[in-house]
A and B are shown apart, each in its own frame.
Chain A
Amino acid sequence: MTNETEPVIEVEHLTKRYGELLAVNGISFTVRKGEVFAFLGPNGAGKTTTVEIIETIRTPTSGNVRLLGMDVTKKKREIVPRIGVLPQSFSSFDRITVRETLQYYSRLYCRSRTDIDGLIDLVNLKDKTREQYKNLSGGLKQRLGIAIALVNDPEVVFLDEPTTGLDPGARREVWNVLLGLKEKGKTVFLTTHYMEEAELLADAIAIISKGKIIAMGSPRELIEGNAKYLLLTLQSVHERVVEIVRNLGFEPVHDNHKNIKVRVAQTDDVLKILNAIKDAGASFLNLDVRKPNLEEVFLQLTGEALREDLPIRVAK
Chain B
Amino acid sequence: MNLRIISANLVVKLTSFYRERTTMFFTIAFPIILILVFGTIFMSQDNVSYHLCVQDLDQTTSSAQSINTLELNGQFKITRVDPAIDAAHYVRDTKVNLVLVIPKGYESSLMERMMLDDTNASVTITYIYDPSSSSVPTKIEILNAVLAGINLEMSGTPPFIKSVARSILTRKYRFIEFFIPGIIAMSVMTLSLFSTVDSDTELRQKGVIRKLSTTPITRTDWLLSSILYQFILAVLTTVAMLLASRAVFDVSLHIDAWLPVFILLDVFAFVGIGMILTRFVKEAQSAAAAANSISFPMMFLSGSFFPIELMPGFLQKFAKVLPLYYVNEGLRASMVFVDNVAALKDAAVIGVFAAVVFVLGIIATRWEEGA
Contact = CB atoms under 8 A, between A and B. Distances in A.
Interface in B317-337: none
B73 interface: no
A63 to B, nearest CB: 15
Contacts of B11: 104
B368 interface: yes
Interface stretch (B81-89, B152-160, B208-216, B275-283): B208-216
A41 interface: no
Q: How large is the interface on B (under 10, 10 to 19, 20 to 34, 35 or more residues)?
A: 20 to 34
B19 A110 contact: no
Interface stretch (A86-94, A199-207, A299-307): A86-94
A107 interface: yes
A87 B210 contact: yes
Contacts of A258: none
A125 B19 CA distance: 22
Interface in B203-225: 206-208, 210-217
A264 B352 CA distance: 78
A268 to B, nearest CB: 54
Contacts of B207: 87-91
A202 B212 CA distance: 27
Contact of B12 (A83, A87, A93, A148): A93
Given A89-B207, A93-B16, A100-B15, A56 B214 contact: yes
B117 interface: no
Interface string B10-46: 0110011001100000000000000000000000000
B15 A59 contact: no
A90 B214 CA distance: 12
B371 interface: yes
Contacts of A59: 368, 370-371
A188 B217 CA distance: 23
Contacts of A85: 211, 214
Contact of A95 (B4, B7, B20, B367): B20
Nearest to A83: B214
A55 B214 contact: yes
A110 B208 contact: no
A100 B368 CA distance: 26
A81 interface: yes
Given A57-B213, A110-B4, A94 B368 contact: no
Interface string A85-115: 1011111111110001000110111100000
Given A89-B207, A95-B19, A110-B2, A81 B216 contact: yes
Interface string A11-53: 0000000100000000000000000000000000000000010
Interface string B358-371: 00000000011111
A243 B369 CA distance: 56
Contacts of A52: 369
Interface in B172-225: 206-208, 210-217
Nearest to A84: B214
B4 A80 contact: no
Given A59-B371, A132-B19, A104 B12 contact: yes
A91 B208 contact: yes
B215 A108 contact: yes
B206 A91 contact: yes
B238 to A, nearest CB: 24
A58 interface: yes
A108 B208 contact: no
A107 B214 contact: no
A95 B18 CA distance: 9
Contact of B370 (A58, A83, A95): A58
Task: Return the 4 tightest CB-CB contacts between A and B, nearest first.
Answer: A107-B8, A85-B214, A91-B206, A95-B19
19 contacts: A52-B369, A56-B214, A58-B369, A59-B370, A77-B216, A83-B214, A88-B207, A90-B211, A91-B207, A92-B208, A93-B12, A95-B15, A96-B15, A96-B16, A104-B8, A108-B216, A108-B217, A132-B19, A148-B211
Interface of A: 18, 52, 55-59, 77, 80-81, 83, 85, 87-96, 100, 104-105, 107-110, 132, 145, 148
Interface of B: 2, 4-5, 7-9, 11-12, 15-16, 19-20, 206-208, 210-217, 367-371
Given A18-B370, A81-B216, 4 more contacts: A55-B214, A85-B214, A93-B12, A107-B7
